[in-house]
Chains A and B, each alone.
Chain A
């Protein structure tokens, strides 16, 4: 995307308002953003577009971002991992200073972020978008070493490639076992899209194989749409085991690729364990995570209810009815950027309305969707009654194929807006 064009777009309606004028007269400010995923990169970039005089620093150790959305398509050989990867050149062109290092701590009292080399970056407002970390203590036997045998592939990149390699090396007839965590977790429909696309690939390359999906809950996002799709496209291939039927994994043995549940144990040819999650570790260090491991925020500027002056976005935050999706992270970041410009200028941020749209693929040419609209209600982001919903159960007129096309167009558009 042309930065100039984006500038014009957002600048057009702001041009003759007093907003930017008084931000100038008030002096700009310094904003630090921790984490360059969909939330953080959007926030950093939008802040510079809205108020070029702001000093915006994005702290992100990886020079290349690997997108989780569409990474399930890599498992099914529908995409290459390189198509998931984006650099920060566009963010830099927008005027953001990218510090290619880790943030090791937040000095809340001094309003400074401590970097890996011990240097400090001061801020007037801090945005934290650290994404997720895994709760390694949650499933006995499942630690970082075990993830090399039983990949989670829930942070895209090397883990995605590892899981794909394991699937490709598997004998035809081998059992793939997946486990999905209880709510909340990153990308609620993600495990079910993954099961779908692995089955899509198995049906072509390993047609004697089956997939067992052990679930720590009794219901999931777009459930009837997924289950109808499985019955239609992959009859007998996917077995979903809900919590009430012993779906919760209580321990694993990486040496034998065994997943143990309350009701028995399952030996896998390929095991994909999606463990319970929490906000990225620095959130707890900064004091913005609560006992759940996630970060409570108010619903207008997404400012931490535990640490004023720190905004938390994306998967790490507790966003009321809004799910942990890349679309949501991007939408929250744009709202937050406006709010920060207003707050730095001493004004009250406007009450926002946010949209979430999330597509899942059941097969390469079979897409389903969920959408919602949210606004602050009683201190939380809540669904606007009457809005939102999922694809119809009965698809007419090639709707599933159309939604698969919309899905790839969405990915193309959002990655261009954030990283292009």
Chain B
């Protein structure tokens, strides 16, 4: 983990940070992502009927979000929410959740 890096190496990483930033996304997740965990649990919770998204395949999350957005897949709140995000934002959020432990 980054916190174990000595300061010198940390500084070196900082220097090449531009591409790293783009690859891994901003602190706390891409825009909108942090709101999702209000319903989609970060930790495994046995008594929730709302599926977790952490660790799911990015492509699956993208498919669901696009189908919610178009109405092809029926939903309660997700259709309303997905309409607030464009393809690029959905891709970023999907990658963010896919990178987390299942």
A contacts, CB < 8 Å to B: 1-2, 5-6, 8-22, 24-25, 46, 50, 52, 327, 330-331, 334-335, 337-338, 341-342, 350-357, 369, 371-373, 375, 384, 386-389, 391, 397, 399, 402-403, 405-406, 409-410, 412-414, 416-417, 420
Contact = CB atoms under 8 A, between A and B. Distances in A.
A11 B100 CA distance: 9
B64 interface: no
B54 interface: yes
A16 B31 contact: no
A391 B76 contact: yes
Contact of A1 (B5, B10, B42, B74): B42
6 contacts: A1-B45, A9-B42, A18-B14, A24-B10, A353-B32, A355-B38
Interface in B40-55: 40-43, 45, 47-50, 54
Interface residues of B, number: 52
B31 A353 contact: yes
Given A387-B81, A416-B41, A350 B2 contact: no
A133 B24 CA distance: 42
Given A353-B89, A409-B39, A412-B47, A18 B101 contact: no
A17 B17 contact: yes
B90 to A, nearest CB: 11
A202 B43 CA distance: 38
8 pairs of A and B residues whose beta carbons are closest in the complex: A373-B84, A387-B84, A18-B17, A338-B28, A355-B35, A353-B32, A334-B34, A353-B31
Nearest to A367: B76
B73 interface: no
A330 B38 contact: yes
B85 A1 contact: no
Given A18-B20, A355-B81, A417-B41, A331 B28 contact: no
A232 B51 CA distance: 31
Secondary structure call for the A interface:
helix
Contact of A21 (B14, B28, B38, B85): B14
- From A22, A354, A410, name the one whose CB has the most chain B CB atoms within 10 angstroms: A410
A397 B83 CA distance: 23
A416 B10 contact: no
Contacts of A15: 1-2, 24
Nearest to A400: B76
Contacts of A356: 35
Contact of B50 (A17, A351, A389, A406): A406
A405 B84 contact: no
A334 B32 CA distance: 10
Contact of A25 (B7, B27, B29): B7
Contacts of B21: 17-18
Contacts of B28: 10, 14, 46, 50, 334-335, 337-338, 341
B96 A354 contact: no
Contacts of B14: 18, 21-22
B2 A21 contact: yes
Given A16-B24, A17-B27, A389-B80, A9 B38 contact: no
B59 interface: no
B33 to A, nearest CB: 9
A407 B99 CA distance: 27
A278 B11 CA distance: 47
Contacts of B83: 373, 384, 386-388
A355 B36 contact: yes
Contact of A357 (B25, B38, B47, B99): B38
Given A330-B38, A399-B76, A13 B96 contact: yes
Contacts of A50: 27-28
- From B49, B74, B99, name the one whose CB has the most chain A CB atoms within 10 angstroms: B49
Contacts of B17: 17-18
A410 B39 contact: yes
B13 A21 contact: yes
B27 A416 contact: no
B27 A354 contact: no
B9 to A, nearest CB: 9
Contacts of A342: 27
A342 to B, nearest CB: 7
